[in-house]
Structure 1
C-alpha cells in the first residue's frame, strides 16, 4: 500500500516544496489580462454582475485568494498566484500515488517530480489565474476516483463526489472530467439502488456547496440563471473563441493549433527547444515500448479500470478544448499536459526495464529540460513588463492631451491600472466613428486588435490609421496581447500623406 512515509515520495515532496517556493518568489506582479483583472477585483468585492469575477464565479479559487491575501501583504495578484502555486504543489501526492498504480516507488517519484517541474504548469502557478489551482484539484479528484475504484466501501466512493464539487468550484470548464463519476455510479446501482441514490445526492450536494453561494451573491436563482445564459451565448457565439463562433478558424486548423502548438510545443515542451530535445528520446523510447509491447505493465483490475476511465475523461476534455474553448489561449490545454508527461515516464520505464541507469539518465535530462524552460518562463513573467502595461505607460507619459484611446480587451486592464485618460472598448467601426466625431477636440488612438476588427468589418484601415508605437512581451506569458500596436486615427488624406 502506498503511504506518505515512503522515502521516494518524501524526496518528490521536498522537490515540489522547493519549486513552490521558487514560483512564489517569482510570481508575476501584474494582472495583465481581462480574466486576471476580474479575479483581482473579486478579492475586493465579489460581484458577478460587475464581472468580479466573470461567470461562473470560480468561488473556491476567489475565496482561497481572499484567505491568503493577508499573508501576501494585501496584494491581490500575489495572493491569487499563491493559491495556484500551493494547490499545484499539494498535488505531488496524488501524482505520486497515481504513478504508483503502474510504476515502482522510485520511478513513480521521478514521474511526480517531472510533473511538478512542468514548465508550463509552473508558469500557470505564477500567474493570478485559476488554472494551476484547478489542475492541482484535478489531480486530487483523480486520486479520489482511484481510491473509490479500489475500495468497496461506500464512504470511500463519496470522496470523488466531494473532490469533483471542489474542482467545479474552482473551474467549471473542467466538467468533462466528471465522466469519472459514471462508472462509480454504475457500480453502486448494480449493488444497491439506495446507495446509488445516495451517491447521486452526494454529487449534487457537493455542487450545491458552490452554486448556492453564487446564487446568494446574485440575489436570486433567476438572476443567476439569466447571467449564465448570457455568458454561454457570448462564449459560444462571440468572444469565447469556441468552434461555433463566426470568427473561428476551420476545424483542421483548430486541431493542428491545439495539438501541435498548444499541447505539445507550449504545454509539454514549455516552448523551449532544449526541453523538446530532452523529451524526444523519452518519447521515442515510450512509443517503441508500446509498438513492441516491451515491459508490460502489471496493474490490478481495479487500477486498470480507473486508468482507462481517466484516459476516457482526458479524451472527453480534449474534445471540449477543441470545440468549446479558445485555442488562442494555450492554458486551456493545461489539464492534459500532466497526463502526457505521465505517459512519457511510464513508456520510458517500460522501454528501460532492467536498465535503471538509462531510465534515470533520460528522466534527469527531461527534468533538466523542464526546469530550464520553466525558469525562463518564470523570469519572463516576473521581470518583463506586459505589452498592455507598456501601452499604459506610453499613453500616460508620451501622448499629448487631450486624446482618447479605443481598445478591445485592453481597456479592462487600463481601468485596473487607474488610467487617467479616456479609454473604452470599441465594438464596431460605426460606433467608434461616432465616438470620434463626438469629440473633435481630442485625438483618437486605437490598438491593433481594434484595427483588425475594423478590417474584418470591411473597413479600409490603411487609409485611416497610422502606426505610432509597438509594445511587445513574452508570447507564452501573454498569448493574445503579447504584441500591441498603437495607431492614431487620421482623416483619410492625412493617413495617406507620406511622412518624413
Structure 2
C-alpha cells in the first residue's frame, strides 16, 4: 500500500523529470541556434600559432615538436581527427566546428544553470546576451580549445548544481564525466574541474566520494592513456612512458623564463598593476568589447557601471546563494590564469557569465517598464560583435595576410631563396607557405653567411632579432585589426633586412 510520503516523493520526481525534459528541449534549441551562428561566422583561417599547432597535431600528434605544445589537449585533437579522417573535412573546418560546438554548449549550459538559480525569463536574457558577447563569439569561432573546455566545464557545473539539490549516482556520474572531458580538452583546468566536482559532495557518504572519484579517474584515463602511449613511441629527449611527464615538465619549466606568463618572474607593484590592467580590466575592454572605439568605450563603461551599481544596491538572498556557489571555482580559475598564463582574454571565457549576471541582474531588477533597460546590454554587445564577426569572417588574420603578401610577391620557384627571421608568424608560414626558408627566433648573426649571401631577400617580423652591424631595417608592410576581434597578433609588421649600402 502506497503511503502519502511515497506518493509525494514520486510526484516530486515526476515533476522534476518533466521540468528537466522541457528545459533540455529549450537548451537544445539554444545550442543549435548558437552553433549555427558561430559556424557561419567562423574565421576563414588559422588565426594564431596555437591554432596552427592544433592543425599540425591532426597530421602528427607530437608534443616534442609542439604539434601541439604540451599538455597536448588530447580531446580537442581527437574530435578534430573525427572530422578530418571520418568526415573528410579540412583541418581548419574540423577544428573550428569543434570550437563552435563548444561555444554553443557553453551558452546552453549557462541557460540551464541560470534557470535553476534565477528562473527562466532571466535565463533566456542571460543566454542571448552571452551568445553575442564579443569574447565568447570571437573565441568560439576560432580553432582554439577554450570554447570546448568552457562548454564542458559549464556542463559539469550544471550537473554539480543539480547534485546539490538532490544527490544521485546518475548526476554524480554526469558531473564526473564532464569534469574528465573538460580536463581532457584543457588539462590546465584540472584543479577547477576537481573543485566543482567535489564541492557538492560535502556531507555525503564516503561511498559517494569514492564513486565520484573512480568515475572521474576512469574518464581521465580514457584520454590520458592513449596520449601517453602515442608519445612514448616518438623519438625525443626522453622515450617510453616517461615521455609525456617529461613533456609536461618542459612546458611548466618554460613558464618560469617568461615574465609575461609567470607572475613570479617579476614581483613588483608595477608588474602586478600591469597584469591587473591586462587580465582583469580586459574583461571589460576585450571581453565586453569596450575597446572597439572611443564612443563604445564611453557608452559601454556607463552601461556596465550602472548595472553593477544597481546590482550592489539591490543584492538579495538569491544573489547571495548564487555567489556562494560560484565564487570558489571562479577565484581559483582567476588565480591560475593571473599567475601562470599570459593575459589573453580567452582564458577567462568561463568568467564571462558571472560578469553578465552581475550587470544584467542590476538592470533586470528595476521596477516596472524600467526592467526593459536590461535589453540595452545585449543590444550594445551586438553593436560590437556583429561588425567584429563580419570583419573576422571576411578578412584573414594579420599573420595570414602577411603570408599571402609574400606569396604574391615571390613565385614558388623563388621562395626557397627568401629568408624569413620570424618570432610571431613562423607557424603560419609552416602551414600555409612551407617553401620559404624560415628561421624561428634566430638572430641575424646566427644565420650562416652563405645563406645570407645567396638570399634573394631577407625579412623579419621582430626588429629586436635582427639588429646587427652593417644591416638596416626598412618597414615593408603592416597589417592590423581591432584587439576585440582577437588580441594576439592583432598588429603584424614586416621589415626588410638590408645591408646598409643596398639601395
The TM-score bracket by the shorter chain reads 0.7 to 0.9
CA–CA distance in structure 2, aligned partners of residues 277 and 79 of structure 1:
39
Alpha carbons of 1:42 and 1:247: their partners in 2 closer, same or farther (altered >3 Å)? farther
Shift of 1:146: 0.6
Q: Deviations over 1:230-277 (max 9, x none)?
A: 1111133249733245799812111111122x2111112364457666
1:395 aligns with 2:406: yes
Match in the other structure for 2:12: none
CA–CA distance in structure 2, aligned partners of residues 307 and 290 of structure 1:
13
Q: Deviations over 1:178-231 (max 9, x none)?
A: 32234334433xxx3343333333332222222112101112320111111111
CA–CA distance in structure 2, aligned partners of residues 57 and 250 of structure 1:
30
Match in the other structure for 2:335: 319
User: Contact 1:121–1:334 (CA<8 Å) still a contact in 2?
Assistant: yes
1:440 aligns with 2:440: no
Shift of 1:288: 3.3
Q: How is 1:412-431 mapped onto 2 (pairs within 5 angstroms)?
A: 412-428=427-443, 430-431=445-446
Q: How is 1:81-230 mapped onto 2 (pairs within 5 angstroms)?
A: 81-178=96-193, 179-188=195-204, 192-219=205-232, 220-230=240-250
Shift of 1:10: 6.2
Alpha carbons of 1:307 and 1:383: their partners in 2 closer, same or farther (altered >3 Å)? same
Shift of 1:155: 4.1
Match of 2:487 among 476, 479, 483: 479
Alpha carbons of 1:97 and 1:19: their partners in 2 closer, same or farther (altered >3 Å)? closer
1:380 aligns with 2:398: no
Match of 2:278 among 257, 264, 267: 257
**Cα RMSD for the two superposed structures:** 3.1
User: Contact 2:154–2:350 (CA<8 Å) still a contact in 1?
Assistant: no
CA–CA distance in structure 2, aligned partners of residues 104 and 331 of structure 1:
28
For structure 1, the residue ranges without an aligned partner over 5 or more in a row are none
User: Contact 2:402–2:479 (CA<8 Å) still a contact in 1?
Assistant: yes
1:234 aligns with 2:254: yes
Alpha carbons of 1:176 and 1:340: their partners in 2 closer, same or farther (altered >3 Å)? farther
Number of matched pairs: 473
Q: Deviations over 1:398-422 (max 9, x none)?
A: 2595431110131111010133221
User: Contact 2:30–2:108 (CA<8 Å) still a contact in 1?
Assistant: no
Alpha carbons of 1:164 and 1:124: their partners in 2 closer, same or farther (altered >3 Å)? same
TM-score of the superposed pair, with normalisation by structure 2:
0.84
Alpha carbons of 1:52 and 1:213: their partners in 2 closer, same or farther (altered >3 Å)? same
Match of 1:452 among 440, 448, 464: 464
Match in the other structure for 1:371: 382
1:465 aligns with 2:473: yes
CA–CA distance in structure 2, aligned partners of residues 461 and 358 of structure 1:
67
Alpha carbons of 1:72 and 1:29: their partners in 2 closer, same or farther (altered >3 Å)? farther
User: Contact 1:56–1:172 (CA<8 Å) still a contact in 2?
Assistant: yes
User: Contact 1:234–1:240 (CA<8 Å) still a contact in 2?
Assistant: no
Shift of 1:11: 6.5
User: Aligned to 1:102, what secondary structure does the other structure show?
Assistant: helix
Shift of 1:323: 1.2
CA–CA distance in structure 2, aligned partners of residues 406 and 84 of structure 1:
31
Q: Deviations over 1:76-125 (max 9, x none)?
A: 11121111212222334421222123323212211122112222211111
TM-score of the superposed pair, with normalisation by structure 1:
0.84
CA–CA distance in structure 1, aligned partners of residues 347 and 375 of structure 2:
28
User: Aligned to 2:19, what secondary structure does the other structure show?
Assistant: coil
